[in-house]
């Protein structure tokens, strides 16, 4: 299954600015979590809730505002200076915990209960076709016509790496290899062999090559290792 239904990898999505400084980064994350729970809040109230200084909170709010992770609205109430209220933006959502993998696993279990193995295999087949269209478009956009198989495998590895599979291409004495050091959909793949079979068929179709899986994370190996060769050169 090529495109992960699971949560994005830890490096994906917007980064909290200034993450190199641990105390500042911790305060910024605490501010975002507080705003997510409490809604629009003034800096003074945030500082009290977090036990932090107002100046420190104000400084971190400016950084979060510049990064597009919070918005500021002005509220006027009678005489005196207006109040500024801060709230999180949709861009900050990727920084909060999510359970996409659990959702995907639950949906697949429901599909299996309703339609059995046949319907589940149809779902993975449909997802494979969607992924194939996307990958073909991306390969055609980045590679020249008639690109070598090695170049196609390298580009496929790059695309898979962007999806969180820690993928790489190798060329050694054993030929061309595509390795995925992480399974971005491990819970789904472990419970549903059709997911891994769909990925294998996807690679064969997109590369127009023989692809053999020789190691498999779902089977307990450290990586998924695919041997790739011209049609007829490997045993699938």
Residues 166-182 pLDDT 10s? 899 999 888 999 999 98
The CATH number linked to 209 is 3.30.1380.20
pLDDT at 18: 47
What is the radius of gyration, based on Cα positions, of the chain?
Answer: 24
Decide if 9 is inside a domain.
no
Decide if 207 is inside a domain.
yes
CA dihedral 16, 22, 28, 32 (to 10 degrees): 80
Q: How many domains does the chain have?
A: 2
Decide if 7 is inside a domain.
no
Is 190 in the same domain as 161?
Answer: yes
Is 113 in the same domain as 225?
Answer: yes
Cβ 165 vs Cβ 159: under 8 Å: no
Is 107 in the same domain as 155?
Answer: yes
Is 223 in the same domain as 107?
Answer: yes
Sequence-distant (≥ 6) Cβ neighbours of residue 49 within 8 angstroms? 34, 38, 41
Mapped onto helix, strand or coil, the DSSP state of residue 231 is coil
Residue 29's domain comprises: 22-95
Which regions of the chain are under pLDDT 70? 1-24, 97-102, 233-236
Taking the C-alpha atoms of residue 46 and residue 61, their distance in angstroms, rounded to an integer, is 10
Decide if 212 is inside a domain.
yes
Cβ 221 vs Cβ 199: under 8 Å: no
Is 39 in the same domain as 140?
Answer: no
Is 140 in the same domain as 214?
Answer: yes
Is 76 in the same domain as 118?
Answer: no
Region label for 40, one of left (φ > 0), alpha (ψ between -120 and 50) or beta (otherwise): beta
Query: Which of 56, 80, 95 is the endpoint of a domain?
Result: 95
Query: Which of 95, 121, 148 is the endpoint of a domain?
Result: 95
Decide if 5 is inside a domain.
no
The pTM of this model reads 0.58
Decide if 196 is inside a domain.
yes
Taking the C-alpha atoms of residue 219 and residue 236, their distance in angstroms, rounded to an integer, is 17
**Which residue is associated with the tokens 């207006």?**
82
Query: Which of 80, 95, 110 is the endpoint of a domain?
Result: 95
DSSP letter at 163? I
The CATH number linked to 87 is 1.10.10.10
Two tokens, residue 137: 């478009």
Q: Sign (positive/negative) of CA torsion 107, 109, 111, 113?
A: negative
Decide if 8 is inside a domain.
no
Taking the C-alpha atoms of residue 12 and residue 33, their distance in angstroms, rounded to an integer, is 18
Decide if 148 is inside a domain.
yes
């Amino acid at each position: 299954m090529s495109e992960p239904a699971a949560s994005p990898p830890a490096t994906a999505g917007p980064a909290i600015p200034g993450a190199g400084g641990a105390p500042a980064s911790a305060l910024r994350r605490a501010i975002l979590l507080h705003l997510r729970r409490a809604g629009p809040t003034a800096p003074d109230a945030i500082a009290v809730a977090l036990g932090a200084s107002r100046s420190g909170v104000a400084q971190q709010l400016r950084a979060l505002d510049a990064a597009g992770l919070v918005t500021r609205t002005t509220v006027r109430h009678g005489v005196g200076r207006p109040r500024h209220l801060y709230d999180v933006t949709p861009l900050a959502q990727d920084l909060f915990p999510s359970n996409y993998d659990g959702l995907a696993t639950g949906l697949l279990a429901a599909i299996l209960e309703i339609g059995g193995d046949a319907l589940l295999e149809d779902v993975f087949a449909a997802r494979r076709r969607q992924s194939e269209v996307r990958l073909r478009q991306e390969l055609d956009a980045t590679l020249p016509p008639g690109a070598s198989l090695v170049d196609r495998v390298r580009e496929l590895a790059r695309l898979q790496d962007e999806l969180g599979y820690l993928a790489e291409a190798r060329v050694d004495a054993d030929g061309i290899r595509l390795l995925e050091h992480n399974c971005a959909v491990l819970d789904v793949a472990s419970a549903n062999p059709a997911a891994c079979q769909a990925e294998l068929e996807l690679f064969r179709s997109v590369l127009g090559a023989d692809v053999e899986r020789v190691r498999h994370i779902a089977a307990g190996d450290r990586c998924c290792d695919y041997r790739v060769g011209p049609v007829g050169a490997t045993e699938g």
